[in-house]
Structure 1
Amino acid sequence: MFPLTDPSRLLDEMFGTVRETPSVATMPMDLYRTGDHFVLNVDLPGVDPGSIDVSVEDRTLTIRAQRSARTEAEVQWLAHERPTGTYVRQLTLGRGLALDTVEASYSDGVLTLTIPVAEEAKPRKIEIQHSAQPTTITSEASH
């Protein structure tokens, strides 16, 4: 169904371009298709689930989340490598997706978005009508 030699073409056709907006931290993601759905898994370890915001405007999907720094006064840092702050990722979505029925869940530090393929974009068989009667062509000029 899709050419295996150019997987980026599928992503470009269904999701358009993928771009990251400047952010304090990165959001690694996996994207795959299963049946009539695309599934997007985004790693957001240590993020407060209440800070996660997913929105779609026009064809731009925006994921925003916040990981707060520890604020205890008695903390003496020995190593501080885990980024804190705001995470933002934007995906420009292609046509053929049912954006009004996107489902989202967050479990074990992973945000999962399930994006269905729109009905009009699904492959379908077109039935050919035929008649059992042979068609006779006659000319009005010859009587």
Structure 2
Amino acid sequence: MATRWDPFQEMDRLMSSVLSSTRNSAVMPMDLLREEDHYVLAVDLPGADPGTIDVSVEDTMLTIRAERTARSSSADWLVRERPSGTFARQLQVGRGLALDQITASYADGVLSLTIPVSEQAKPRKIEVQHASTPAQITQDAPAAS
């Protein structure tokens, strides 16, 4: 029995598997900025069911999950470009953030996270103590007999 191998179909399968791993990040575009003593992460989740949005932190890994449910699959679709299903994005965050104080809100299809900088990582002034000059020390010291 002969086996048929189509190199173009194999290449298409390979490219689909590579691109599917980056699909979730393309579906969840984000902006990240720093404002004074906190970071703001804004993730686009248009059409996501608000009850399915899940944000979790484990050690230094921030995970965002959401679901977008599809409309009736029994319909005769003419065009179907909006992806549905479960989407996830993970971000490795650095130390120096107060991960136990993250706040999240979802409005107008945008998930906003506020991530405070920890107290230990905030810039601070160190007071410099002024020592006496050596000449003053020798003048004030009693003479040795």
TM above 0.5, yes or no, is yes
**Structure 1 vs Structure 2 CA RMSD:** 2.6
Matched-pair identity in %: 60
Question: Between Structure 1 and Structure 2, whose CA radius of gyration is higher?
Answer: 2
Post-superposition CA distance 1:29-86 (Å, at most 9, x none): 000001101000000000000000000001100000000100274x321110000111
Q: Does 1:35 align with 2:36?
A: yes
**3-state SS of paired residue (1:123):** coil
CA distance in 2, matches of 1:83, 1:72: 13
> What is the deviation of 1:23?
7.0
Post-superposition CA distance 1:115-139 (Å, at most 9, x none): 0000000000011233689852459
Higher helix share: 2
> Quick one: which amino acid aligns to residue 104 of structure 2?
A
What TM-score, normalized by structure 1, do the two folds share?
A: 0.75
Unmatched runs of 5 consecutive residues or more in structure 1: 1-20
**3-state SS of paired residue (1:136):** helix
Residue of structure 2 equivalent to 1:44: 45
Q: Greater relative contact order (Cα 8 A, min sep 6): structure 1 or 2?
A: 1
- The number of equivalent residue pairs is 121
Unmatched runs of 5 consecutive residues or more in structure 2: 1-19
CA distance in 1, matches of 2:44, 2:67: 13
> Quick one: which amino acid aligns to residue 126 of structure 1?
I
* Conserved 8 A contact 1:65-1:88: yes
